[in-house]
Amino acid sequence: MKILKGILFAILGIIVIALVAALFISKEINVEKTVTINKPVEEVFDYVKMLKNQDKFSVWMQMDPNMKKTFSGTDGTVGAVAAWDSQNSEVGKGEQEIIGLEDNKRIDYELRFIEPFEANDEAYMLTEEVSGNQTKVVWGFHSVAGYPMNLVMKLMGMEEMLGGQLEEGLQTLKSQMEAS
């Protein structure tokens, strides 16, 4: 019985330490990845602003080729929405809406996740002319994870994982655009 009590107190101590540590860990998740594409900025921007085109380069859209997708509004304009419903738990169910658009410069998205968890996050894509035939593309993501989920996200390596997925998507985008 004494050993069992000791184990119980040790587990409780670890939980308390973790919860206290979570108070000091950032609640924000910010990830940005960049690629340079050998195409003019107008061509790159006109491609990435279309939600339907994300099916071709987004890692998440590639994870489940059988997911149900619906689109509403005019694609490539503010208010356009792409919704998905996947049986793959890594993709889940949700929707993405274009909430801001600055031609040849910036697209802002609101991401509304429904399953396997509920969350509202922000994403964006920036395009910047490097030279007449080169465009820098930045894909970014911002989220706020409340206490104590901030600790869980940190322990899971969420920023690193998400960064790798954004990087993979940008490399696919670069390959596709430069091949056309």
Q: Alpha-carbon distance 65 to 72, whole Å?
A: 20
What would the two tokens of residue 132 be? 């007449």
Amino acid identity of residue 24, one-letter, is: F
Domains of the chain (ranges, CATH numbers): 28-179 (3.30.530.20)
Structure confidence at residue 1 (pLDDT): 75
d(CA 74, CA 50): 9
Q: What is the pLDDT of residue 78?
A: 97
Report the share of the chain in percent with pLDDT over 70: 91
Q: What does pLDDT average to in each consecutive run of 10 residues of the chain (180 residues)?
A: 80 74 72 95 96 90 86 96 88 93 96 87 95 93 75 71 88 93
pLDDT of residue 157: 66
Mean pLDDT of the chain: 87
Q: Tens of pLDDT along 108-140?
A: 999 998 988 788 889 999 999 998 899 999 999
3-state secondary structure (DSSP) of residue 73:
coil
**Look-up: residue for tokens 């919860």?**
19
The pLDDT of residue 5 is 80
The C-alpha atoms of residue 120 and residue 141 are separated, in whole angstroms, by: 11
Q: Rg for the chain (alpha carbons), in Å? A: 20
* 126-156 per-residue burial string, b: 16 or more CB within 10 A, e: under 16: bbbbeeeeebebbbbbebebeeeebbebbee
Q: What are phi and psi of 29, to 5 degrees?
A: -120, 120
